Amino acid sequence: MIQTKVLLDESEIPTHWYNVVSDFPNPPAPPLGPDGQPIGPEALAPLFPMALIEQEVSAERWIEIPEEVREIYQMWRPSPLYRAHRLEKALGTPAKIFYKYEGVSPAGSHKPNTAVAQAYYNKQAGITKLTTETGAGQWGCSLALAGQMFGIDVRVFMVKVSYDQKPFRRSMMRTWGADVFASPSNLTNAGRSILADDPDSPGSLGIAISEAVEEAASRDDTNYALGSVLNHVLLHQTVIGQEAQKQFASIGEYPDMIFAPCGGGSNFGGVAFPFFADKAAGKDVRLVAVEPTSCPTLTRGHYAYDFGDTLGMTPLLLQYTLGHDFIPPSIHAGGLRYHGDSALVSQMYKEGLIEAVAVPQIATFEAGVTFARSEGIVPAPESNHAIRAVIDEALRCKESAEEKTLFFNLSGHGHFDMASYDKYFAGELVDYEYPEEEIERALHNLPKVAVG
Ligand SMILES: *Cc1c(COP(=O)(O)O)cnc(C)c1O
């Protein structure tokens, strides 16, 4: 009998998060303030507790995970590593395919790994309320869950198009005690200014971030929490890759290529960064971020300083960006709609340390259905991007008779995304290449900062 699941004992939950900056060939580009000068930690203090700000700028290789956070991780961690025998067979590939399944968390994705840590540090700092944005609802659910565990009130600005299309994620957030508002809302200046220009605005992550940041910045008892993009978020997610390293070691395997869907970069960083430590030490492993052709941030965006939100309230980060005023095409069903990308992931891509590919929407659902019909698990539409890229690679291995070991992060399940699957089955999804004119246009609206 060949093994299907590789499981670790709870005692093997990592004790530290791994900071990829310690293996960077060049120091990370600093965040800049409105004057174009690097900001100090105090600039972030209205939004984040000092412990998280320190993690944001840390170059320490290992950061200890607080005991209380590890105890909550025990509810679903270590997550299983699966060998996808049935998918391999369905594809007739000589490649070995493995996946780490993060859908076992209560919220159904990798996002609680950081939500719990962020709620913990805010609680320690005496914060009683957190604001945040959410797109498809995965992050809002994760923070609602974490807030509930630490007795912190959570207020979620949910991108309006998703608020209308994903009523059950809304219900889940409310079940965990969070307040949820459609964004743009009339609760903030940011929301009101967008609505004044376009009363029917479908919203975007950038707009929802502006609303959440405005509210957090204007109240002492309130902080803001972000579900991806920032260095400390990617740091917290490195429990995924560290567990996977132990799981591979326990069966005497090691991946040749690692794939993850890439929106803001947190699940990619989470799974790939610990393996980058091996790569920096000389190991041959390829790390591939997979994004949609409708929001091709890494593969077609500009490498430039840009805001994290639409209204320009955040510090500037050097990143691949489609422009902070990007509004994703509403026909796109599969998440991964943020205009920018993690500064760490962006710098690694710029320096050729990692790879990126973009895949079209219909092919991602086709891959997800192939996966569900062989492996059983119905993947989140975001995860389908990685599955598409893995299947493509496995089919190339079939052509070339190569026995590569392929590994991907199955970042979540799709149980609350079945409306998107229904659209796929009804033939209502379309492929969409983000137009070149729009990418050009974004260039002109970028804040004017010289990249030195
Ligand atoms: C949020 C999410 C992603 C992508 O976000 P990253 O910030 O790039 O990690 C991928 N998969 C699932 C299931 C998600 O919820």
The ranges assigned to domains in the chain are 5-9+67-108+232-445
Ligand 1 neighbour 138 (Cβ under 6 A)? yes
> In this predicted model, what pLDDT tens digit does every residue of 101-140 receive, in sequence order?
999 999 999 999 999 999 999 999 999 999 999 988 999 9
From the list 199, 434, 195, the residue with the least C-alpha distance to 311 is 195
Q: Which CATH architecture has domain 5-9+67-108+232-445?
A: 3-Layer(aba) Sandwich (3.40)
d(CA 111, ligand 1 centre) in Å: 7
Residue 17 pairs in a beta bridge with: 63
CA 11 – CA 15 distance, rounded (Å): 9
**Tell me, what's the pLDDT at 84?**
98
Rounded to two decimals, what is the model's pTM?
0.97
Q: Is the pLDDT of residue 335 over 90?
A: no
**CA-to-CA dists, residue 256 to 176, 220, 336, 394, angstroms:** 40, 48, 25, 12
The residue with greater pLDDT, 265 or 312, is: 265
Any idea what DSSP says for residue 406? Answer: E
- With a 6 Å cutoff on the Cβ, whether 262 touches ligand 1 is yes
Instruction: Give the model confidence (pLDDT) of 169-192 as tens digits.
Output: 999 999 999 999 999 999 999 999
- Token pair, residue 384, equals 């389908």
Does ligand 1 come within 6 angstroms of the Cβ of 113?
Answer: no
Strand 96-101's sheet: what is its strand order?
Answer: 5-6, 81-83, 96-101, 405-410, 257-261, 286-292, 355-359
Average pLDDT, the chain: 95
- 387 in Cβ contact with 407 (< 8 Å): no
Reported as a pLDDT band with limits 50, 70 and 90, residue 450 is low
Q: Ligand 1: which of 114, 267, 290 to mutate, judged by most atoms within 8 Å of the beta carbon?
A: 267
Beta-carbon-side half-sphere exposure of residue 117 (alpha carbons within 13 Å): 27
CA distance to 304, 352, 406, 430, per residue, from 340 (Å): 10, 18, 27, 23
pLDDT in the model for residue 166: 84
Using the mean position of ligand 1's atoms as its centre, give its distance from the Cα of residue 150 in Å: 23
**Cα 412 to middle of ligand 1, angstroms:** 8
Distance, CA 400 to ligand 1 centroid (Å)? 32
Containing 91, the helix (H) or strand (E) segment is helix 85-91
Tokens of 393: 């690679």
Task: Compute, in angstroms, the gap from residue 277 CA to the centroid of ligand 1.
Answer: 22
Angle at Cα 331 formed by Cα 327 and Cα 166, nearest 5°?
A: 90
Q: How far, in Å, CA of 217 to CA of 235, rounded?
A: 24
* Ligand 1 pocket residue status of 228, Cβ below 6 Å: yes
Tell me which residue has its CA closest to atom 10 in ligand 1.
382
Closest listed residue to residue 115, CA positions, set 94, 82, 138, 93: 138
Closest-CA residue, ligand 1 atom 3, reads 382
Tell me which residue of 80, 75, 77, 78 sits closest to 3, measured CA to CA.
80
Q: Is it the case that residue 332 has pLDDT exceeding 80?
A: no
What single-letter DSSP state applies at residue 296? Answer: -
